[in-house]
Amino acid sequence: MVKKSKAPSKTPFYAALAVIGLVGVGALAYVATRPSNAATTVDPATITAGEPQGYLLGKADAPVQVIEFADFECPACGQFATLAEPDIRKRLIDAGTVAYRFYDFPLPIHKNTWMASNAAACADEQGKFWEMHDQLFNAQDQWNGQATSRPKSKFQDYAKAIGLDVGKWEACYDAKKYQPRIKANEQMAIKRGASQTPKFVIGNKMVGGAISYDRFKTYVDSALSLAKADSSKPRGSGDSAKAAAPTKGPGGQ
Amino acid sequence: MILGMLALIGVFVSTYLTLYKLGYIGQLQCSIGSCETVNTSPWATFLGLPVAAWGLGFYVSALALAMVSIQEKFADSRAFSLAFVALTGWGVVFSGWLTYLELFVIDAICIWCVTSACIVVVMFVVSLADLRGFRAA
Question: Under an 8 A CB cutoff, do A17 and B19 touch?
Answer: no
Which residue of chain B has the CA closest to A80? B23
A203-206, long-range: CB < 8 A, 24+ apart: A203/A64, A203/A65, A203/A66, A203/A227, A203/A246, A203/A247, A204/A41, A204/A42, A204/A44, A204/A245, A204/A246, A204/A247, A205/A39, A205/A40, A205/A41, A205/A42, A206/A39, A206/A40, A206/A41, A206/A42
Could you tell me the residue range of the domain that residue A30 belongs to? 10-37
Residue A4 lies in a domain: no
Residue type, A78: G
One pLDDT digit (tens) per residue for chain B, 137 residues: 788 889 999 998 999 888 877 767 766 777 666 776 677 677 788 888 888 899 999 999 999 988 888 887 777 778 888 898 999 999 999 999 889 988 888 777 888 888 899 999 999 999 988 888 776 66
At residue B56, the pLDDT reads 92
Residue A252 lies in a domain: no
Are A211 and A97 contained in the same domain?
yes
pLDDT band at A8 (very low <50, low <70, confident <90, very high): low
Q: Is the peptide bond before A75 cis (omega within 30 degrees of 0)?
A: no
| Contact with chain B for residue A251, Cβ under 8 A | no
* A41 φ/ψ sector (left φ>0, alpha ψ -120 to 50, else beta): beta
Are A16 and A72 contained in the same domain?
no
Cα separation of B88 and A114, whole Å? 45
At residue B135, the pLDDT reads 66
pLDDT band at A39 (very low <50, low <70, confident <90, very high): low
Are A16 and A63 contained in the same domain?
no
Are A74 and A173 contained in the same domain?
yes
Residue A206 lies in a domain: yes
| Contact with chain B for residue A15, Cβ under 8 A | no
Are A51 and A17 contained in the same domain?
no
Chain A residues with beta carbon closer than 8 angstroms to that of B23: 79-80, 83-84, 209-212, 215
- The complex's ipTM? 0.71
Are A53 and A30 contained in the same domain?
no
| Contact with chain B for residue A4, Cβ under 8 A | yes
Residue A199 lies in a domain: yes
In chain B, domain spans: 2-136
Are A72 and A29 contained in the same domain?
no
Residue A238 lies in a domain: yes
Exposure string (b/e) for B57-87, b if CB count within 10 Å is 16 or more? ebbbebbebbeebbeeebbebeebbebbbeb
| Contact with chain A for residue B1, Cβ under 8 A | yes
Are A31 and A141 contained in the same domain?
no
Q: How far is A35 from chain B (nearest CA, A)?
A: 11
What is the count of structural domains for chain A? 2
Are A92 and A189 contained in the same domain?
yes
Are A108 and A232 contained in the same domain?
yes
How many C-beta atoms surround the C-beta of residue B42 within 10 A? 9
Q: Cα separations (Å) of A239 from A201, A211, B55, B74?
A: 22, 32, 52, 70
At residue B26, the pLDDT reads 60
For A:101-130, CB contacts with B below 8 A are: none
Q: How far is A170 from chain B (nearest CA, A)?
A: 29
Q: Cα separations (Å) of A87 from A92, A93, A100, B137?
A: 8, 9, 13, 61
Are A16 and A80 contained in the same domain?
no
Above 50 in pLDDT, residue A46?
no
* Residue B111 contacts residue B39 (beta carbons within 8 Å): no
Residue A253 lies in a domain: no
A27: nearest CB among B12, B27, B70: B12
Q: Cα separations (Å) of A178 from A6, A173, B44?
A: 76, 8, 36
Q: How far is B54 from chain A (nearest CA, A)?
A: 18
DSSP A230: H
CATH fold of B2-136 reads de novo design (two linked rop proteins) (1.20.1440)
Above 60 in pLDDT, residue A16?
yes
Are A225 and A189 contained in the same domain?
yes
Above 90 in pLDDT, residue A104?
yes
CATH number at residue A222: 3.40.30.10
Express each pLDDT in A136-173 by its tens digit: 999 999 999 888 888 999 999 999 999 999 999 999 99
**Mean pLDDT for the stretch of residues A117-142:** 95
At residue A221, the pLDDT reads 93
